[in-house]
Amino acid sequence: MSDQLATIVVGAVLLLHGLGHGGALGAIVWIAARPGTKTGGWTAARSWLLPGLSPRSATMLASAFWITSLVGFVGAALALWGILLPLDTWRPLADVAAVVSLVGIFLFLGDWPIFNTVAAVVVDVAVLVAVLVLDWPPTVSITGT
């Protein structure tokens, strides 16, 4: 895979993962607005580690994790592609977003469908390994300039 193609693919994964966190945020909002409706396995935010949190506090805390992850991953993708943000910011944004996502998943484990949870953990760990351990992908311009 060429460096330019790797940049496009990794950016797309970061973008889609960020938008996936937007989906988790949407589920939280939906459940709060329409309690009792079918959610496809999504449940109201509640933390197994912090069981004393009120439903409102748990929802706000979970929302903060998903908003931060969404903004971080989308920002990382845009920076990697050289859009709106400096190119050298994509790695720290991706790293922080992956850590925030993992902490949020850990705190709210069991609130969402297992497929979504496992997929998110796999992407978060892959981002951290690729960026921190392998220093991959190389940062190259996708426009060829």
**pLDDT one-digit tens code per residue, 29-53:** 888 888 877 777 888 889 999 999 9
Total of domains in the chain = 1
Q: Report how far apart, in Å, the C-alpha atoms of 107 and of each of 20, 31, 61, 101 are.
A: 18, 18, 10, 10
Whether 58 maps to a domain, the answer reads: yes
- pLDDT lower than 50: segments of the chain: 145
Whether 96 maps to a domain, the answer reads: yes
Whether 139 maps to a domain, the answer reads: no
What is the reported pTM?
0.89
Whether 142 maps to a domain, the answer reads: no
Whether 145 maps to a domain, the answer reads: no
**Full residue range of the structural domain in which residue 7 is found:** 3-35+42-133
Element (H, E) at 139: none
Cα distance from N-terminal residue to C-terminal residue, the chain = 19
Whether 102 maps to a domain, the answer reads: yes
Contact between 46 and 111 under an 8 Å Cβ cutoff? The reply is yes
Give CA–CA dist 92/9, Å, rounded. Answer: 18
